Structure 1
């Protein structure tokens, strides 16, 4: 078990929603936390039940960056274990770097505890594999440009040329525009699509279709946020067995 260092802020990936999908390490650190700053609009509040009763819990949905940093600094200066609880895994759309940069100005370090990303939770809800032998062996994780722009070479149209598996974050509100860009880029209109709303939460909802009809189905379902758009032939019927467990295949690892 890791011995915590109260001189550092612990960034903990909370998982996609199901409170049992936090890692064991993250759970143990959350149990010890004195100050917890959590993304209230995205974090399942049941996770806070793992905290000790006297822990200070702050919902960052109503705070700007400097207020969040000040809570961290105050906690560290008062010899408290500070946890920043963020949805999914910290490495995807987590804004950890900007928080780390601000902490560095205060000569405070941080430690990251990996979490389960929602793109993994969404695949689990579907019972799907992103990497299907002879169908797709790559996964593109991206988002449509919005208030946060994307680099020119990372447009949906350019990514669509690969016609590989794709998980699109933070874009469901513009589902019609997403479809248009994917089709323009090269995906056929019969490409399977699944939109997974709040993957692993009790109110998870899955909408399935193709690029030809998914925008209408998502609009009819009233889904406008907190959903992933999964695109690609990995969602279709085509499948080929891998060589991993082939009786005639020579294995180094199995």
Structure 2
């Protein structure tokens, strides 16, 4: 018996990996959070699965009890996690519980909201001479943050920022970023990326709060910040530069 922590992707069932779909299909017990994962993701296993649990209203003790029962019955469990399990997936505490119970498990990665949102915006988050670093973080709320990871400290890098779980504090985020990025810095707020009702708004740090309020976004948003979102002033990378040789490509000198 094995518990599979499966990255269900950002919402669109077609963005699940082949391995994720195949693994879910052979598990008789399915756990997923209906508040974070659209029901379309589990449509393909509704008839084949023996039991499907929406964990949105369940606590850790309750989900662990379901897994423990399945283990005693020798039934594999698919524990679906939105996006990629390694990013704000809360699998750490789940793994700690099942390890204590001696239950085997495997983690299957998934497409993150960051990747899906960049694709929706048709943007590259790393551009030569603009930003070579993406910082994924969340805004401080109930979860305590060490000082070195608070937003003003991270903003000093000037890197592209991907801020999760911060839409209700968008005004505070803007206040803390303007001193480091400037009021004209591009920002995008992506709502329920890849869900049927996905939406987004783009602007600058100077006007994004008003734009978000007009959209009435209050939850399930990813905030992307950085010059990469709105610039044509970047150099071509060395990746395909004909003047740069690497192990797979030699420089072809012109014949005289």
Partner of residue 150 from structure 1, selected from 145, 152, 175: 145
In the TM superposition, residue 239 of structure 1 has moved relative to its aligned partner by 2.4
Alignment partner of 1:96 is 2:91: yes
SS at match of 2:79: strand
- The answer on whether the counterparts of 1:140 and 1:166 sit within 8 Å (CA) in structure 2 is yes
In the TM superposition, residue 90 of structure 1 has moved relative to its aligned partner by 0.4
Per the alignment, residue 212 of structure 2 pairs with: 218
Unaligned runs of 5+ in 1: 1-5
Per the alignment, residue 17 of structure 2 pairs with: 23
Per the alignment, residue 110 of structure 2 pairs with: 115
Q: How many residues align?
A: 247
- Residues 207-233 of structure 1 show CA distances to partners (whole Å, capped at 9, x for unaligned) of 000000101110111001111000000
Q: How large is the RMSD of aligned CA atoms in angstroms?
A: 1.1
User: Normalising to structure 2: TM-score of the pair?
Assistant: 0.94
Per the alignment, residue 208 of structure 1 pairs with: 202
In the TM superposition, residue 252 of structure 1 has moved relative to its aligned partner by 2.0
In the TM superposition, residue 251 of structure 1 has moved relative to its aligned partner by 2.3
In the alignment, the residues of structure 1 paired with residue 205 and residue 21 of structure 2 have an alpha-carbon distance, to the nearest angstrom, of 39
In the alignment, the residues of structure 1 paired with residue 59 and residue 244 of structure 2 have an alpha-carbon distance, to the nearest angstrom, of 56
In the TM superposition, residue 200 of structure 1 has moved relative to its aligned partner by 1.3
- The answer on whether the counterparts of 2:133 and 2:159 sit within 8 Å (CA) in structure 1 is yes
Per the alignment, residue 190 of structure 2 pairs with: 196
Per the alignment, residue 171 of structure 2 pairs with: 176
* Bigger Rg, structure 1 or 2: 2
5 Å-filtered alignment, 1:21-100, equals 21-51=15-45, 53-55=47-49, 56-100=51-95
SS at match of 2:125: coil
Q: Which runs of 4+ in 1 moved over 6 A?
A: none
Partner of residue 163 from structure 1, selected from 146, 158, 161: 158
Unaligned runs of 5+ in 2: 250-256
Partner of residue 251 from structure 1, selected from 235, 246, 249: 246
Per the alignment, residue 3 of structure 1 pairs with: none
Partner of residue 181 from structure 2, selected from 179, 184, 187: 187
